[in-house]
Amino acid sequence: MQEAFVNINNIPTHIITWGKWIEESLNDTKELVICITGNPGLPGFYTEFGDALRKELGSSGQNLPVWVIGHAGHDDPPAASIREVPQLSGNQELFNLDGQITHKIEFIKKYVPRDVKIHLIGHSIGAWMILQLLQEQEIRQRVKKCYMLFPTIERMMESPNGWLFTKIAMPLYSVFGYVFFTFFNVLPVWLRILLIQIYFLIFSIPKQFTGTALKYTKASVAEKVVFLADDEMSRVRGLQRELVQENLGLLKFYYGTTDGWVPVSYYEQLKQKFPQVDAKLDSKKIAHAFVLRHSKPMATIVSNMIQQNVQSN
């Protein structure tokens, strides 16, 4: 595993890779895997998934590089870094959905050669971003297959979690959020870590994510995460039917059965609208935020998907 912050669209961006680093030559590589995260877009939450996916692919003889890209502004570089993430105020266009899509387009154009085919994994809002990427012909031509995991591609505000976010979480954050996160970061590091670990213990989240969660609690990061989520509620409304129809051959959907963001009814309605769609309903009770507790079984599922499409070449 290799990781670093690289400058994409003038924003220091956290990248984690397995197999080959983004700046290494890809002359002997025909295909690779790029994972676009959900929200919050911190690659640190995807380390177990990326590692397991790379091993699964390697054991099957498919040594595809695996890259995970975080969202612009969701992860600050180390304090010693010469580059800083721009503040949200006055730079909203860098951190909203359009900004995040531009960010991913620039990354692909800069680091993926035209002759290398991409297996795109989109988790949650990452799946919606993939649909938008497919409107860029230069990107679409490089895509081998898209794996849409727990895809928030429609009616986010109408979902149970969308209702909670817009009616309860967002109003509370508007009044107390920035003050809370600012106060939290005044506390000694050991106390912040202890509070996070207590939270993890209550919700059965592995301790390995403590460091990533500590980054997430920074006020400058939290505000950008919430800002993007609020934009999602406004923008991700009706299903982009023409866009889905045009790209059915490239899309593979994986829906959960316990997903507060994407109810099973969304899966059923997608199947009704597009009888030929390649969509599957989870049978293992994997959570929407699979990276916290179900990375390994999800890596096995995605690896099998990728292998089918590599072998079909």
What's the whole-model pTM score?
Answer: 0.94
**pLDDT for the residue numbered 242:** 97
Report yes or no: 282 and 257 within 8 Å, Cβ to Cβ. yes
Q: At residue 312, does pLDDT exceed 70?
A: no
The stretch 218-235 carries a mean pLDDT of 95
pLDDT at position 202 over 90: no
What positions carry a catalytic annotation?
124, 259, 288
Select from 1.10.150.170, 3.30.420.40, 3.40.50.300, 3.40.50.1820 the CATH code of 2-154+238-311: 3.40.50.1820
Q: What is the mean pLDDT of the chain?
A: 94
Q: According to the model, what pLDDT value does residue 306 have?
A: 96
Q: Which amino acid belongs to residue 226? A: V
Least confident of 56-70, 119-133, 270-284, 290-304: 56-70
Quick one: what percent of the chain has pLDDT higher than 70?
99
Beta sheet of 117-123, edge-to-edge order: 2-8, 11-18, 66-69, 31-36, 117-123, 143-149, 251-255, 279-281
For the chain, domain boundaries: 2-154+238-311
DSSP at 28: T
pLDDT digits (tens, 9 = 90+) for 109-135: 999 999 999 999 999 999 999 999 999
Quote the percentage of the chain above a pLDDT of 90: 82
Q: Quick one: pLDDT at residue 311? A: 55
* Rounded mean pLDDT, 9-31: 93
SS3 165: helix
pLDDT value at position 224? 96
Q: How would you class 286 by CB atoms within 10 Å of its CB: exposed for 0-12, middle for 13-18, buried for 19 or more?
A: buried
pLDDT at 222 (0 to 100): 92
Question: Measured between alpha carbons, how far is 113 from 269 in angstroms, rounded to an integer?
Answer: 37
Residue of 205 and 113 predicted with greater confidence: 113
**Do 17 and 68 form a contact (C-beta atoms < 8 A)?**
yes
180: pLDDT strictly greater than 90: no
Residue 62 is predicted with a pLDDT of 82
pLDDT of residue 70: 92
Diameter of the chain measured on Cα atoms? 55
